[in-house]
Chain A
Amino acid sequence: MNFLFHILAVIGIYCILSWGYALVFRLAGMLSLAYGCYFAIGAYVYALGVRHLPFFPLLLIGVASATAFGMVEAVLSWRLKGDFLFVGSLALQAVVYSLALNWVDIGQPPGSWSNLTNGAFGLPGLPRPAIFGITLDTESGYLALVAIVVIIGFCVYRNLVFSPWGRIVEMSRDDELAAATLGKSPRSLRVGVLLVAAGFGALGGMLYAAQTGFVDPDVAVLSQVIAILAMVATADLLGSRSPVVGAAVLIALPEALRFARLSSTYAANVQVLAYGLLLIGVAHVSRTRSARTVRPHEANDR
């Protein structure tokens, strides 16, 4: 049963991450790989602060730190679009990965200023969060926390997407000139989306760190954000508006491979290969509308 709770908690965490990325990729039409940076910042903030601060203030610090870093990507998105924003975001991701890997001084205690990330050794032994004096050290208790955050995250995501702001962002994605004509600044809208997504990313990263109890530079690798991109893409491919379906399918995939008795040597590679196939699939399926699904009511308008 604990295993099931564990899988459900992971699906919940990736749902939060997918909603954040869906705002960037689907709503604003930006292909950015810097989303992994927010995830990594959230995870490291949790790892560094969990022994010193209560959970909710730590949550706020994590989200604020990622949003502050989001301003760097916002500067890029202010000047760049399309492929060049992709390259800029890739550069940011590489810088954050490099910091996570190299901010290390073996002689100093892990978490100190000169050995902040402890490099490739990471920061192990992270305790689960305690809320109102109750430590969530059981899988069911932790799942309950994730479920609450998922419900709040879903409400925020849904309200943003279907709010007037969300519709303007969507319009700006499809026709920037039309948005500018109506007095809306496409650049400001893009910046807003990135900052909100940074908050979602940090939230996911903190929950992930609490779940695994260990943070290392792998949280900042490119495959993390590619996995999230694949989840959003899978939902697009399956015609679903919410990326939850993608998260559930792709988290369940490795478990299915385990039951299919595929050698563990290859299971991880087959999983990543499936992500790649999904990306190719979604690019071809949605090629008529710039890598996104045409919604039924839009198709009827044509």
Chain B
Amino acid sequence: MIQVFFNALAVGLGIGTLGLGFLLVYRPTGVFHVSAGAIYAAMPFLLLELGTRGAPLWLSLLICVAFGIGISCAIEFFNHRRLGIGLSQTSAHLLSSLGIYIVLTQLVVIVWGPNVRSLRVGQDHSFRLGLLVATRAQILEITIQAVLLLAFAALLKFTNIGLKLRALMQNPSEMALLGYSTQGFRLLAFAISGVFVAVVSLVNAYDLGFDPHGGLPAIILAIAAVIVGGRDSFLGPVAGGLLLGLLRSLAVWFSPKWQDCFTFVLLAACLVFLPNGILGYSRRVKAP
């Protein structure tokens, strides 16, 4: 059972971090940032490419994260900002985001091919601690994602930028009325989302391998974490991610092939019966 919880932590933190990246964009902008799936798919290929061209690992990692930020900001600047702000635009944002995901993913396939690849050479080293067996990739995954989440929590709690990000998430209209540049902070939200997506993508690619079509499933899991956990606070996606991680780890013991099925049945059930998520606030539902 300890092993199940450990595996759940490794998987769940990744889903939760991605969910946080998604929520960071969704709450203030209303944009379903599906195109983040393309960033998720492209980053490991870029790292591998830089590695084969002889770039040192630290530089390759920095370039990958910078690319993640750049693409995410470009998507906001050239697409979502031009589509306008407002509820009536949501379909247009979603449609264009899906379109960008498709275009970027196909470009990845054309440039780097459709095959499954791995960032790791050979079998991973594993450690035994009593009943628990942990691989090096899992320890790396948990450590990096936990540090990233803690750094983000510190940014939110102790810095002026964090305060403004929270304000943007709570009420972007009022923030604009107070004279702050919401467009600048929207861009910042997309940039931080890009960091989260790039880092989780690289860490997961090191553990499980990667392929060009892995982006959308990862983002759908992130959306599931946001919905299951609740979209009213930054803790929601992390809690949702951990719950999904546990469910998926338990599903592996039952039958690995039904992992996705269980996840999406839970997602659909949450959407219908618990639309505000486990950490969400109850609110009055608008009449149709």
A residues at B contact (CB < 8 Å)? 29, 31, 75-76, 79-80, 82-84, 86-88, 90-92, 94-95, 98-99, 101-102, 176, 180, 185-187, 222, 226, 233, 266, 269-270, 272-273, 275-284, 286-287, 289-292
Contact = CB atoms under 8 A, between A and B. Distances in A.
A182 to B, nearest CB: 13
Interface residues of B, number: 44
Contacts of B96: 279-280, 283-284
Contacts of B216: 222
Interface string B84-126: 1000111111111011111100110110000000000000000
Contacts of B99: 275-281, 283
29 contacts: A29-B91, A82-B91, A83-B32, A84-B271, A87-B223, A88-B271, A88-B272, A90-B220, A91-B220, A91-B267, A91-B268, A94-B220, A94-B260, A94-B263, A95-B265, A98-B258, A98-B264, A99-B261, A186-B288, A226-B102, A275-B102, A276-B102, A277-B99, A279-B96, A279-B102, A280-B100, A281-B99, A283-B92, A283-B99
A276 B95 contact: no
Contact of B287 (A76, A86, A180, A282): A180
B271 A80 contact: yes
B83 A287 contact: yes
Given A92-B268, A270-B106, 18 more contacts: A76-B272, A79-B275, A82-B90, A87-B223, A101-B257, A102-B261, A180-B287, A273-B107, A276-B100, A279-B95, A279-B99, A280-B99, A280-B100, A283-B92, A284-B83, A287-B83, A287-B92, A290-B92
Contact of B264 (A79, A91, A272): A91
B77 to A, nearest CB: 14
Contacts of B288: 176, 180, 185-187
Contacts of B183: none
A35 B265 CA distance: 17
B188 to A, nearest CB: 22
B106 A272 contact: yes
B229 to A, nearest CB: 14
Contacts of B89: 287, 290
Nearest to B255: A102
A92 B267 CA distance: 9
Contacts of A280: 79, 95-96, 99-100, 103
Given A222-B216, A277-B103, A278-B99, A283 B93 contact: yes
Contacts, number: 139
Contacts of A186: 288
A227 B222 CA distance: 24
A98 B260 contact: yes
Contacts of A283: 83, 91-93, 95-96, 99
Of A84, A98, A185, most buried by chain B (CB within 10 Å of CB) is: A98
B261 A276 contact: no
A201 to B, nearest CB: 19
B128 interface: no
Contacts of A226: 98, 102
Given A82-B90, A187-B288, A269 B110 contact: yes
B268 A76 contact: yes
Contacts of B258: 98, 102
A102 B84 contact: no
B82 interface: yes
User: Which 9 A/B pairs are nearest by Cβ-Cβ distance?
Assistant: A276-B102, A279-B99, A283-B96, A280-B99, A276-B103, A291-B91, A273-B106, A91-B264, A98-B261
A84 B265 CA distance: 15
A272 B101 CA distance: 11
Contacts of B287: 180
B227 interface: yes
A23 to B, nearest CB: 16
Nearest to B99: A279
Contacts of A272: 102, 106
A136 B89 CA distance: 47
B26 to A, nearest CB: 8
A149 to B, nearest CB: 29
A188 B32 CA distance: 26
Q: Which of B93, B94, B98 has the most CB of A within 10 A?
A: B98
A132 to B, nearest CB: 41
A101 to B, nearest CB: 8
A86 B261 contact: no
Interface string B212-235: 000010001001100100000000
Interface string B55-82: 0000000000000000000000001001
Nearest to B79: A280
A50 to B, nearest CB: 27
A277 B96 CA distance: 9
A273 B100 CA distance: 9
B94 A276 contact: no
Contacts of B84: 287
A40 to B, nearest CB: 15
